[in-house]
Amino acid sequence: MRIIVYGLGAIGGCVAGLLARSGTDVVGIARGAMLEAVKADGLWLKGHELDESVPLTVVGNPSEIDFRDGDMILMCMKAQHMAGALEDLRAAGAGDQPLFCLQNGVVNEDMALRLFPKVHGVMVWMPATYLEPGRVLSFASPKFGVFETGLFPGGADHDDEDFVRAIDAAGMAGFTHPNVMAAKYGKLLMNLENILNAAMGPNAEKGPLPDLMRTEALAVLDSAGIVWEDRAKLVPERRDLARISDLPGEARSGSSSAQSLLRGTGSIETDYLNGEITRLGRLYGVPTPANAAMQRIGARMVRDALRPGDLTLSDLVAEVGTTD
């Protein structure tokens, strides 16, 4: 089995590096400074009792890969980059290979299913950081991350089992889940807060915003009849597998959305996190002013090249008060 990891950032980088280190045949697809750094020096991986460079085969586009039976493809880019990535994958000749969406939010699987027949959702629990080209960190221990996988829209098959085996062998923990999207909706509730530390910095007071956003989200999920499972801190029996822990010499830089701003990538995932709640709210006639305000904040931060800490709680609360 060969695993293609598409999007070598925080999650893709950690997963690719750990898999390669455990002896799995891995090809990474990266771009920009990350591509150049990994080509030159391999991927530097840091985690609990781990601080080493991992040699990794890396390419700049799927067209450089000769896709074959037995390949498994892990989609690890943020949702705003998914459509282009899927197009490139199809143009490169990928087709029947199982595609695993290691992403937050709930839109990626549906987008993938339009182009590819075998789509799996994965609930990703891995507090990971990518700020410097060629270097990624996982702050979870004793396992480097926990992953729940299942077929989209439901079920689980032998490819999920292969995925779990590879993940387990690489120091992470994998589980199959027959209704993985319920877990992903639960994780989405948590990721509504990504924008808060992206806007206000890692340790800022969040005031009423988490409750406001969550209350709206619960109302829309209820109106839409969407089943979800709480993933606030994983399911209780798995919490000890991957606790957030300190890494010597490293500060956690906040959510994946905060990292997009810190790296100046020119985009943020908010429209696919809080934006999923506003979309459902508009479909089902449920007001979602707090989540809509956070989308406007995300868009403004990208437009004005703002960084985490540039906005205050008063700025965010004031935005909720403006009209949608």
Ligand X SMILES: NC(=O)C1=CN([C@@H]2O[C@H](COP(=O)(O)OP(=O)(O)OC[C@H]3O[C@@H](n4cnc5c(N)ncnc54)[C@H](OP(=O)(O)O)[C@@H]3O)[C@@H](O)[C@H]2O)C=CC1
Say which entry of ligand X, ligand KPL, none residue 288 contacts (CB below 5 to 8 A, set by partner kind). Answer: none
Q: Does 194 bind ligand KPL (CB under 6 A)?
A: yes
Q: Does 186 bind ligand KPL (CB under 6 A)?
A: no
Range 309-318 burial, b when 16+ CB lie within 10 A, else e: bebebeebee
Q: Please report, as ranges, the residues that interact with ligand X according to CB under 6 A.
A: 7-12, 29-32, 34, 76-79, 81, 84-85, 88, 103-104, 124, 126-128, 130, 256, 259-260, 265, 269
Contact string 105-134 vs ligand KPL (x = CB under 6 A)? ----------------------x-------
The minimum distance between CB 36 and ligand KPL, in angstroms, equals 25
CA distance 217 to 152: 22
Q: Does 191 bind ligand KPL (CB under 6 A)?
A: yes
Q: Which amino acid is at 16?
A: A
The minimum distance between CB 66 and ligand X, in angstroms, equals 18
Using CB under 6 A as the binding criterion, the count of chain residues that bind ligand KPL stands at 7
CA distance 240 to 190: 19
Of 62-70, 145-153, 159-167, 190-198, the segment contacting ligand KPL by CB under 6 A is: 190-198
Tell me how far the alpha carbon of residue 131 is from its chain's centroid: 15
The minimum distance between CB 10 and ligand KPL, in angstroms, equals 8
Can you read off the two tokens belonging to residue 317? 């609360």
The minimum distance between CB 31 and ligand KPL, in angstroms, equals 20
In a 3-state reduction of DSSP, which class is residue 156? coil
Q: What angle do CA 67, 38, 270 make, to 5 degrees?
A: 80
In the chain the beta strands, taken as DSSP E runs, fall at 2-6, 25-29, 43-47, 50-54, 57-59, 71-75, 99-101, 119-125, 128-132, 135-138, 140-142, 146-151, 173-176, 242-244
Q: Which residues bind ligand KPL (CB under 6 A)?
A: 104, 127, 190-191, 194, 255-256
